[in-house]
Amino acid sequence: MKAQRANSRGERLMDAAAALFAERGYSATSMRDIASAVEMLPGSIYYHFASKDDLLLAIYEAGVTDITEALEGALMGLHDPWARLEAGMAALVEAVTQPQARTRVIFAVTPDQVPRHREALIAARDAFEVRFSTLIDDLPLAPWVDRQLLKLMLLGAGNHAQLWYSESGSYRAEEIGKAFARFVRAPVEH
């Protein structure tokens, strides 16, 4: 009873494509690159996905689902707003740095690079960002603080970790996320 074989191939395809999209970029990755990564012929991909655009869209939406669930999971049981921000940032950095990740594609591929699905990608991405925004909304902040800018700063910093993070490096994803949250909370100055 090893069903799911069909689904399993489709998923493997998405994972392999996601890894290539995240590393080399969307348009720098060819269908032949993807095909040879899963050991099948280029044309065979079209049994699973109607086009390269659609493949990317499927990965992107799956990635948004993944990262949203990861975020919810990390927040579970936490009530203190700053603890929630730390956990959320940790989840974000983990999502953009994990090697097997479809989640990396969300921040590596910008909607403008896939004109045909531009709106759909923006909509999917916004769904996550709105969810992330509530973390900042709940913070007790000084009145001079622009929450919108603070959100964009934290999102940008977390996203950017994708570019310099290394598994062999001295930081783990979780510490990075938490550190970013603490930098804006506590008086860093001395």
Question: Any contact of residue 37 with a copy of itself (CB under 8 A)?
Answer: no
**Residue 2 φ then ψ, to 5°:** -105, 65
Residue 163 contact among DNA, a copy of itself, none, beta carbon within 5 to 8 Å by kind: a copy of itself
Would you say 164 and 104 are in contact if contact means Cβ atoms under 8 Å apart?
A: no
- Alpha-carbon distances of 3 from 6, 8, 44, 67, 68, rounded to whole Å: 8, 9, 21, 27, 28
Residue 185 contact among a copy of itself, DNA, none, beta carbon within 5 to 8 Å by kind: a copy of itself
Give the DSSP letter of residue 43. Answer: G
Would you say 102 and 62 are in contact if contact means Cβ atoms under 8 Å apart?
A: yes
In the complex with a copy of itself, the residue whose CB is nearer, 43 or 140, is 140
- Alpha-carbon distances of 13 from 2, 76, 154, rounded to whole Å: 19, 31, 32
Residue with tokens 């994990």: 98
Question: Any contact of residue 190 with a copy of itself (CB under 8 A)?
Answer: yes
Rounded to whole angstroms, the Cα distance separating 137 from 152 reads 13
Question: Any contact of residue 112 with DNA (CB under 7 A)?
Answer: no
Question: Any contact of residue 113 with a copy of itself (CB under 8 A)?
Answer: yes
Residue 79 contact among DNA, a copy of itself, none, beta carbon within 5 to 8 Å by kind: none
Stretch that binds a copy of itself, among 6-14, 43-51, 54-62, 135-143 (CB under 8 A): 135-143
Rounded to whole angstroms, the Cα distance separating 67 from 91 reads 8
Question: Any contact of residue 28 with a copy of itself (CB under 8 A)?
Answer: yes
In the complex with a copy of itself, the residue whose CB is nearer, 69 or 175, is 175
Rounded to whole angstroms, the Cα distance separating 167 from 152 reads 26
Stretch that binds DNA, among 49-57, 79-87, 148-156, 165-173 (CB under 7 A): 49-57
Q: Which residues of the chain form contacts with a copy of itself (CB under 8 A)?
A: 23-28, 82, 110, 112-113, 139-143, 145-146, 149-150, 152-161, 163-164, 171, 176, 179-180, 183-190
Q: Which residues of the chain form contacts with DNA (CB under 7 A)?
A: 3, 5-7, 9, 27, 29-33, 39-48, 50-53
